[in-house]
Structure 1
Amino acid sequence: MRLSRIIMALTVGLAVVAVPTAAGAAQPQPTPSATTDPTQPPPYTPQPPALTVNRPTIYLGETVVLTGTNFGPNETVDINVTVTPQAAPARGAAPARRSDGSTVAMAPVAYQASAPLHFTAYTDAQGRFTKTYKPSVTGLLTFTATGRESGRTASTELRVLHKKQPLPVTGDSLGTPMKLGGGLVGAGAVMLLLTLAWRRRQRFGGAAH
């Protein structure tokens, strides 16, 4: 009798302990995440450096502005300038022509060669710089900028033309104004003589009365 009670008490205790365990196992478990790491941003691609001029063609004596972008921040930039001379006028080119049909030989303007130039610029915190430049020679100028620390390089071109020259003055060009001036002087002299004659006539006429 006592043994049966002990067995019954053990059975009831095991049942009580098993109920919470079964209830916990019945609850739904969270689904594991497919990815555990956060999404990474795409890698940064640096922009290529650039060098530009505000005017692609100028006349000798004018000034341009060079602008560099996407170089290293706060670095020194070396700028080299190479010059390609303009082609000289071809021999046998058409000379200047007078009004009467005759011609005048025009001497070509000689190109003064210049060694490549060099100067520096300094970028700001964004890797940008501006620099004014006044060419002293004509031709096709190529600017090449290179950052000392970053090694980044860019180039641009500028065409420098000769100043516009006035038309040449020929003998006939001078002769026309001189002829016109001589005619005016002659007309003035005739008017002066007529005025003197009229005054003289008036004077003698008044004396006769």
Structure 2
Amino acid sequence: MRLSRIIMALTVGLAVVAVPTAAGAAQPQPQPSPSITDTPQPPPYVPAPPLLTVNRPTIFLGETVVLTGTGFGPNEIVDIAVSVTPLAAPAAGQAPARRSDGSTVAMAPVAYQASAPLHFTARTNGAGKFTRSYKPSVTGLLTFTATGRVSDRSASTELRVLHKKQPLPVTGSSLGTPMKLGGGLVGAGAVMLLLTLAWRRRQRLGGAAH
């Protein structure tokens, strides 16, 4: 009997001890706060679009322009191709020949002997910029297209090249009137000379008769 009481007392004691432990286990445990270990990354760099410009949009044949390119790869070679579109005739800035009656006639342009390349290269600096001078040898609308060999970035610009300003040429029709006037003056002078000689001869003959 005593043994059974001891066993019962131990069972009740264990039950009493187990109840708080189970209650504590049933309660939600606080979660540890997450630690920030990753450094925020900046947004990806997007370079500015490439740009190609000329310092003067319109020039006369024989003048020089400066090409400027930006937004290309740093320290890379840039290929520049030139295409030419003829201008409508007569070109602006070209003075037409004028006849004596006031009408005009278009003059054919004089061929320019020097030959400028239609493909050349330039090298950019560390910021992806380059400058290059160019002297066209033809008239027309010139289109420059620059392409980076490494970055494969491309940009274009246009240049209008006009004929040189020419003085008004003298045509056959323009010479007609001055030549006619000159011929008339020469004829009048000849008549006056003959009349003077005749008058002097008459004076001499009259003096001899007396």
TM-score (norm 1): 0.58
Unaligned runs of 5+ in 1: 175-209
1:68 maps to what in 2? 69
Counting only pairs closer than 5 Å after superposition, residues 68-87 of structure 1 correspond to structure 2 as: 68-87=69-88
Q: 1:96 aligns with which of 91, 95, 98?
A: 98
CA distance in 2, matches of 1:26, 1:75: 68
Given that residues 97 and 169 in structure 2 are in contact (C-alpha distance below 8 angstroms), is that contact kept between their aligned partners in structure 1?
no
1:136 maps to what in 2? 137
CA distance in 1, matches of 2:64, 2:27: 85
CA distance in 2, matches of 1:67, 1:159: 17
2:158 maps to what in 1? 157
1:136 is paired with a residue whose SS is coil
CA distance in 2, matches of 1:21, 1:79: 83
The count of aligned residue pairs is 165
1:66 is paired with a residue whose SS is strand
Unaligned runs of 5+ in 2: 179-210
1:107 maps to what in 2? 107
Q: Post-superposition shift, 1:80? A: 1.8
1:143 to 1:171, Cα distance in 2 relative to 1, 3 A: same
1:9 maps to what in 2? 10
Equivalent AA in structure 2 for residue 110 of structure 1: V
Equivalent AA in structure 2 for residue 23 of structure 1: G
Equivalent AA in structure 2 for residue 96 of structure 1: R
For residues 158-197 of structure 1, the C-alpha deviation after alignment (integer angstroms, 9 at most, x for no partner) is: 111123334457669x9xxxxxxxxxxxxxxxxxxxxxxx
1:121 maps to what in 2? 122
C-alpha RMSD over aligned residues: 4.0
Equivalent AA in structure 2 for residue 9 of structure 1: L
Equivalent AA in structure 2 for residue 137 of structure 1: V
Given that residues 72 and 150 in structure 1 are in contact (C-alpha distance below 8 angstroms), is that contact kept between their aligned partners in structure 2?
yes
1:72 to 1:23, Cα distance in 2 relative to 1, 3 A: same
**Farther off after superposition, 65-74 or 108-117:** 108-117
1:6 is paired with a residue whose SS is helix
CA distance in 2, matches of 1:48, 1:42: 18
CA distance in 2, matches of 1:118, 1:56: 20
1:67 is paired with a residue whose SS is strand
Given that residues 90 and 106 in structure 2 are in contact (C-alpha distance below 8 angstroms), is that contact kept between their aligned partners in structure 1?
no
